[in-house]
Amino acid sequence: MSLDLSEYDDLINPFENLESDPQENDFHAASGMKKNISPANIGDSCQDDDPELIAAERKDGKLKSLIGGMRLPGAGKGYHLLAFQSGSFGLRGAIIRNARHSAVLGAAAESRNVDFTRAIAEVVEQLKKLHKSLPKQAILVTPSVISSIIELPVSPLRPRSDDEMRELIRWELEGTLTQQNKHWLIGSMLVERGYLTPYQRDEIVEELQVRQSQGGQDGLLRFGDLAVQLNYISKEQLEECFVLQGKLIAVDDDLAYGWQAEEPQVLQGLSDEALLSAADDGDSAHKWLVSGMSKSVRSRWVGAFNLNGIKLQAFYPSVGSSFSILSQRCVDQQQALIEIHQEQLAFIGGTPSSVSEIRVEERQHGAIRQDEVQRLLGVLPADLNKLFVNFQGKEKDELLFILSNSTSLEIEALTFDGLDIPKPDHFENEALLGIAGAADHFFNHTAKARLSWLPARDVESSFWKKLLTPKFFKITSAVGVLFLMSGFIGWMHWNMWHQQQRLDDLNARFEKDSKLKQQFTGIIASQAQLKAQIKEAKRENDLNSELLLSLENDFPREKNLIKILLKSLILVTPEGVAVQSIAQSDSLILVAAQSRSDTEGQKFVTALNKVMQPLDYQVFSSDVSAISGSNENYSLLYQVNISLRHKVM
């Protein structure tokens, strides 16, 4: 997919041309964060000209939206989803195939562009070189989504309305969102983008602390400026991180939320009466897995995907996404995972069907220390046997040593063994664990309570919900009743007129059908007579045909019968027999002959009968008798009379 972004070259960096307070505190000076960032600083004018925010407001038609939201399994090895992961490094993406038991990665790509729209376009272009046809739906895993386990006085079997749930979650997550902004410190972003090493960052922080302790103009120097001054980075690299920070940092209090009740095991011990009660259930607390993110950041991402012709379906948190895939690697009832992120460590614990605990420990500058790991682990479940670690290429050997000293559990790295897909050379397979876990959850290959996701768009209230609010309920009810009564009376009058018209039509049709029935009866009688005549004529015709066929078969035979008979007599007449005459009478052929002996006469009869069988004739009668008054000088003669007739079949 080719995307022309030349018209968006003037994208606004909300942190450019902002006046900074020269009296920044130590924290912001050490971290490189800019102060005085608020919605008022950015202004609505930036949003009015921002193509990503404008594109986020674009809505699909109802039919297109319905088709686009379907999760349909594809045939064969087609790919069904694009999964992306964002961070200070830029943007990674992979194509996903929904297999029978898990989401299968097809190929991966990466862009380091700080502009969301261009980064998505670059990843899509790289993937298109490997697969011409790409899905049009996507999910995004991002640190901008925070996730936590909170307790609410709401039974999972009796959840409240969406507005009430958002209000309850807001009080729990507002403070956490501020802490989440530490992901986007300039120092951290420079390290993750590869412009600084962790050791260089530590040197800059130490140098800043020395200069601040000395006071003077150098004490007001910011992290990024000092990194440029020490020639660790270029000014362009610093400005690049400022632009990315401006897009990722949450500067508003308007949040979007997602929530997921834990599986039924958390409900054990509660009575059926408490669970099924319609009351508020205010006397008990239930655990909920919740998530939240800034609506402005969400809109920016949605708009960037819209500009690339891709429909973003859901947001997933970076913390805990790889825990979703752990259910396919571990069969233990108690599961635990440590995730190593740039600025924090995360511990996620739970069962194969849910998450029961999420702990986050902020990392200090430098290598991971044992006290940080011990604070993160805290008190572990007694029946936990194995601890998985998602290193993502960070300090693997050193952390394994620290973990082995901190706990007696078996330590195992969460890896992507056997994954052989096209991908950039500079990142490991483990960098795709979060993408794979989110895709498994999206395709329902893992339990719903393993992750809490955010919809890419707020679900708007239906027309009927807006109409049936208490403010308009009485008016709409009265208007509805009046409309129904008027409509019913009008329908009654129309129905009476319609039924009368229908009755008149039925009477006319009855008279017409009666006449047609009489005519039809006469036609049926005539048809019966004609059928009888046709049948008789057909029978006579069949008899004539049989007779004609018989004549055609017999005439040639009768015509040539005498000739054939004469030839046969010549062949079968024995010596001592003389044929006198052959005559035909009706259906008989009469043969007269004389023989010198009775035996010769009988042989002649037998031979003649045999030779006439192919002609369908047989000897009907024969007589061999001595002739009286024969000449005494000669032998006694015998008269042979034979009658032949046609065989009766």
pLDDT tens-digit map of 480-538: 888 888 888 999 989 999 999 999 999 999 989 888 888 888 899 888 889 988 988 88
Task: Note the pLDDT of residue 36.
Answer: 36
More confident residue, 56 or 292: 292
Which of 60, 48, 52, 47 is closest to 3 using CA atoms? 52
Whether residues 498 and 612 fall in one domain: no
Residue 382: is its pLDDT beyond 80? yes
Task: Note the pLDDT of residue 395.
Answer: 63
Instruction: For residue 14, report the phi and psi dihedrals to the nearest 5 degrees.
Output: -65, -10
Tell whether 6 is covered by a domain.
no
Are the beta carbons of 5 and 118 closer than 8 angstroms? yes
Tell whether 220 is covered by a domain.
yes
Q: What does the DSSP assignment read for 527-582?
A: HHHHHHHHHHHHHHHHHHHHHHHHHHHHHHHHHTHHHHHHHHHHHHPPTTEEEEEE
Whether residues 524 and 580 fall in one domain: no
Instruction: For residue 230, report the phi and psi dihedrals to the nearest 5 degrees.
Output: -85, 5
Token look-up 């999910």 returns 139
Whether residues 600 and 539 fall in one domain: no
Classify strands 286-294 and 454-455 as parallel, antiparallel or unpaired.
unpaired
What single DSSP character describes residue 110? E
Residue 160: is its pLDDT beyond 60? yes
Chosen domain end from 407, 433, 460 = 460
User: At 631, which CATH number?
Assistant: 3.30.1360.100
Task: Note the pLDDT of residue 124.
Answer: 95
Task: Note the pLDDT of residue 328.
Answer: 81
Treating both helix axes as pointing N-terminal to C-terminal, what angle do 561-572 and 470-559 enclose, rounded to 10 degrees? Answer: 60
Token look-up 């992979």 returns 94
Q: 559 pLDDT band (50/70/90 cuts)?
A: low
d(CA 627, CA 636): 7
Helix (H) or strand (E) holding 386: strand 386-390
As given in the structure block, the two tokens for residue 139 are 């999910």
Tell whether 41 is covered by a domain.
yes
Whether residues 432 and 499 fall in one domain: no
Q: Per the structure, how many domains does the chain have?
A: 3
Which of 172, 440, 151 is closest to 314 using CA atoms? 440
d(CA 620, CA 252): 128
Least confident of 96-110, 369-383, 546-560: 546-560
Task: Note the pLDDT of residue 283.
Answer: 54
Tell whether 73 is covered by a domain.
yes
Amino acid at 431: A
| Structural domain of 524 | 467-557
Q: 37 pLDDT band (50/70/90 cuts)?
A: very low
Classify strands 410-413 and 103-111 as parallel, antiparallel or unpaired.
unpaired
Task: Note the pLDDT of residue 18.
Answer: 31
Whether residues 430 and 294 fall in one domain: yes
Percent of the chain whose pLDDT exceeds 90: 13
Whether residues 171 and 239 fall in one domain: yes
Least confident of 8-17, 37-46, 308-317, 376-385: 8-17
Whether residues 338 and 475 fall in one domain: no
Tell whether 14 is covered by a domain.
no
More confident residue, 346 or 220: 346
Task: Note the pLDDT of residue 598.
Answer: 86
Task: Note the pLDDT of residue 10.
Answer: 32
d(CA 79, CA 127): 12
Tell whether 3 is covered by a domain.
no
Which of 531, 562, 555 is closest to 644 using CA atoms? 562
Whether residues 478 and 534 fall in one domain: yes
Q: pLDDT (tens digit, 9 = 90+) per residue, 199-229?
A: 888 888 888 888 888 876 666 788 888 889 8
Whether residues 143 and 208 fall in one domain: yes
d(CA 228, CA 234): 6
Q: Strand 81-87's sheet: what is its strand order? A: 103-111, 90-98, 81-87, 137-142, 311-317, 454-455
More confident residue, 100 or 587: 100
More confident residue, 375 or 108: 108
Whether residues 440 and 511 fall in one domain: no
Which of 230, 222, 296, 234 is closest to 29 using CA atoms? 222
Chosen domain end from 503, 525, 557 = 557
Tell whether 15 is covered by a domain.
no
CB-facing half-sphere around the CA of 180: CA atoms within 13 A: 25
Helix (H) or strand (E) holding 595: strand 588-595
Q: pLDDT (tens digit, 9 = 90+) per residue, 426-451?
A: 778 888 899 999 999 999 998 888 88
As given in the structure block, the two tokens for residue 268 are 């054990």
Chosen domain end from 460, 477, 509 = 460
Per the prediction, the chain carries an average pLDDT of: 77
Q: 460 pLDDT band (50/70/90 cuts)?
A: low
Alpha helices in 327-446, H assignment, sequence order: 370-377, 396-406, 433-442
d(CA 391, CA 25): 33
Q: What does the DSSP assignment read for 205-268?
A: HHHHHHHHHH-SGGGG--HHHHHHHTTSS-HHHHHHHHHHHHHHS---S-EEEEEEEPPGGGGT
- Name, of 140-149, 169-178, 184-193, 546-555, the range with top average pLDDT: 140-149
Mean pLDDT of 158-162: 79
Whether residues 175 and 315 fall in one domain: yes
Bridge partners of 436, per DSSP, are none
- Widest CA span in the chain: 183
Mean pLDDT of 51-57: 73
Tell whether 186 is covered by a domain.
yes
Task: Note the pLDDT of residue 176.
Answer: 66
Task: Note the pLDDT of residue 4.
Answer: 38
Task: Note the pLDDT of residue 316.
Answer: 95
Whether residues 411 and 434 fall in one domain: yes
